[in-house]
Structure 1
Amino acid sequence: MQRQFFRYNAKSFPKCYRELATSSSIFLIFTAAIAGCTNSSLATKQQPATTQLFSPQTHLASQPPRCQTAQLSVSKVSTNAGAGNVAVIYAFTNKGSSPCNLYGYPGFALLDSKDRPLKGVKVIRSQGTYFSKQQSPRQVTLAPNGQASFEIAYNQVRDVGQSCPTSEKIQITPPNAYHHFTLPEQINPCTGQVRVTSVQPGIIQ
């Protein structure tokens, strides 16, 4: 059995069909051209999105660094007493050439003659004392030669026959620092407690 193949002959179709086929081909070619131009135009105009990331270093760089013990000095400013209570004010001074920040409570310890912590004494952080108003911790920026102060307070009223622990030295550490100052100082908290306030700008009045 022989296979018969159909051969397409455009002339074998009526004229109206030939015109329709030609029109359809032109339409498809035109549509494809428009689509190509449109996609090419969009690809040309569309730009990749860019994202700007906020860098906190710009803000942090404007803040002075934390005060280091080496750029500070500490000294006793004044002593006040009344009704058996004693308060002593100490001040940090920025002896460096650039500003620095202090924030929070200083370290404070009472020592004996051998530089050992005094037994039976507890140091308590306090927002105020018998002599000063309540003040929360705040950041203090010390300019060169600028000062910030804190207060320690204790009670020295003793019962009959009572002996109160007495320090030979004190140890002061700036807030958030690792190194300390050691000063000769006799403090005798008969109640066994010493209150320490946070660092405040200037000299506490």
Structure 2
Amino acid sequence: MATFTKYPLKFLRLSLIHENCWSRYYEVPEIANILNLTPYPERNILKVSLLMSEKGYRDIMNLKSRGKVKDIFNIYKWRNRFYVDLVRDYDNSIYSIINRNNGILISTLKYDGKEIWNLLVYEYKVNRLIKEFQEFAEIVKVNIEDDIPTENLTSRELKVLTTALDLGYFDYPRKIKSKELSEILGISEPTFVFHLRNAERKIVSNFIKKLGKNMLSEP
């Protein structure tokens, strides 16, 4: 019979400033949408696949000429967006630290000189992971949660929700409006509101169901 481990998982949401990364110098007031990260440790290469506006694309090209981006080996224009494959060093990247500690990356984005990372990690590795992050970056904010908020959420809903949370949409007073968030995400305001409301509805519904079960189980 198979034996299964029962190491608890934690959900980490980190906002950090990584001085040795291109994201620190990305000056366009919009999110750089990270579609995929592909590591090649044996060549010390991390391929970063991005989708961005023309302004973002021009800023990335400027960063390459300034030596902030190691290389760009593919650019494809699709409608009014640009798909860009860029290369940076794998060693000492945030992604290499996550891999080294067996973390599971859920999503990441770059905005206003900051990197926002959402990941799952074994509880016993949380402190070590954060310590390694601190050796290479300034941690602006970190949230450690027991619940995994991806339950029943689509990737788009999760991205809309975490972006709204990280940029202060749920703060009082609000630090950013839905119109501004939709522009940052590159979607229409009605689309943003649609995905946000769906995510909120699913989370509240799951919470109420769990609360009801707990109340029924009480003696």
Structure richer in helix, relative to its length:
2
Shared topology, TM-score over 0.5? Answer: no
Query: Which category of TM-score, normalised to the shorter sequence, fits these structures?
Result: under 0.3
- Higher relative contact order, chain-length normalized (CA < 8 Å, sep 6+): 2
* Structure-1-length-normalised TM-score: 0.26
Larger CA Rg, structure 1 vs 2: 1
